[in-house]
Structure 1
Amino acid sequence: MTTFQLYLDDSGSRYPDHEPEPARADGMDSFALGGLLIDKADRKLALERYDAFVSSWGIDYPLHSTKIRGRRDKFRWLGQDAVRAERFYRELGELLVALPVTGIACVIDRPGYNSRYAEKYGDKRWLMCKTAYAILIERSLKFATAAGANLEVFFEEAGKHEDRAVAAYHKSLKDDGMPFDQGNSSGYSGLKPDKFRDGVLGDPQRVTKKGSPLIQIADLYLYPMVKAGYQDGYPPFDQLFAARRVIDAQLPEADRQSLGIKYSCFDLIQKGERPGG
């Protein structure tokens, strides 16, 4: 069978009670997991295009979304030459839409999550990564299965505790299936354990940004998907969408809510009770 590989990164704190400092005017306060799906047969082409880009810019250090956007650390040179920076951002965007990958993510709005669950569950609320991981793997597996493929999972190492949590969530999907209360999920029928055992190959594999260009690309894909939940018409996301490089662009509109990028607990944003949307 064909094998799809999921390269995932995270964004934001996984703790429900985390308070961003300072508060953001755009209302962004979330935890997200996501990145890209790639047919294993396309890895060579993707890596060749990555290598050509970094070689052309003389970059021998990881592409890191936060540092690129903030023009800091090894990317502080972006703040020193506006013309060169404009060309870099343009060519980076051209690289991202030229890669044979599909962006996918689960983004959870923290205030919305707490509004929904804090009163009922208090300190027993799950870490947001548990919810995000289950949703992300299920939707990635459904996408792979529809293409006649199996799924392999790669994630960026974050620390012993965090990495062990990923392994535990993965094992739970294969042992018990989706962790959500079916009674509270009207019309939702999660994949059963055997689907995960049959479709997801082995355990999730831990990698580093330095050692994995595709994890770097996953990082660069994740931020636009997160930002799009808070800002309609965010140009980097729209560019990916127009090039059919995010999963929503490859799905019928009617299926995007159930199979596409998941924006969870965005009720307050959608109601206009917080900035964003």
Structure 2
Amino acid sequence: MQALVDNKLLIKLSYDGSPVQGLYLGSIFVNQSFAFYMDESGSPKPNPRDPASHFAVGGVLIQHNDESRIRLQIRNFKERWGIDESVPLHGNEIRSRKKNFAWLGLRSENEQNQFFLDLTTTIVQCPIMVHGCVVSRKGYIDRYLERYGSNTWGVVEVTHVAPCTP
């Protein structure tokens, strides 16, 4: 079952009509609440003329009880670098040193290296599980365009999944 709540997609899993109390991650049974944050690369609509041969979908799986700890680590990182708390750490902006991170391009090479080391250390210390998938754009369009038409991209359009409990 899915529902849009506060701009987040709430997904409740069920099996034979009964709510799922936990899930298997690899060979480990987990009976906890998780949040899955994901994003995709590429155009928001399928376009057979798009020159990119692939697109990617990726995200992080976070135990609900770790979210406040992660938010604190990110807030501390932003404070160390004078980044406003409302500014998202968008990878493309950071790497290209544009928009909210144009200031980074004005720093010395040593300071930029320190920033990226601090960012990497902050991310690595967060208790997250990272997931990603690269998809052939042609294969995706061939498989789903005829079946779903203009709604094709909806298969990967979810950007946030709220934690849910049974």
Q: TM-score range by the shorter chain?
A: 0.5 to 0.7
1:172-187 mapped onto 2 (5 Å cutoff): none
Structure 2 unmatched ranges of 5 or more: 1-30
* Correspondence for 1:85: 112
CA distance 1:19–1:77, shift in 2 (3 Å):
farther
Aligned residue pairs total: 133
Aligned residue type for 1:54: K
Structure 1 residues 126-145: Cα deviation after superposition (integer angstroms, max 9, x where no partner): 51331x369x9xxxxxxxxx
* Correspondence for 2:58: 34
Shift of residue 105, structure 1, vs aligned partner: 3.4
Aligned residue type for 1:121: E
Q: Equivalents in 2 of 1:19, 1:39: separation in Å?
A: 40
Q: Equivalents in 2 of 1:8, 1:133: separation in Å?
A: 9
Q: Which has the higher strand share?
A: 2
Q: Equivalents in 2 of 1:18, 1:91: separation in Å?
A: 40
Shift of residue 29, structure 1, vs aligned partner: 3.6
* Correspondence for 2:143: 117
1:135-150 mapped onto 2 (5 Å cutoff): none
Q: Equivalents in 2 of 1:102, 1:42: separation in Å?
A: 12
1:8-27 mapped onto 2 (5 Å cutoff): 8-17=38-47, 19-20=49-50, 23=51
Partner residue of 1:129 out of 154, 162, 165 = 154
TM-score (norm 1): 0.41
CA distance 1:127–1:93, shift in 2 (3 Å):
same
Q: Equivalents in 2 of 1:50, 1:28: separation in Å?
A: 34
* Correspondence for 2:69: 45
Q: Equivalents in 2 of 1:128, 1:76: separation in Å?
A: 31
* Correspondence for 1:67: 93
TM-score (norm 2): 0.64
CA distance 1:111–1:201, shift in 2 (3 Å):
same
Flag the structure with more relative contact order, 1 or 2, with Cα contacts below 8 A and sequence separation at least 6. 2
Work out the percentage of aligned pairs sharing the same amino acid.
29
Shift of residue 110, structure 1, vs aligned partner: 1.1
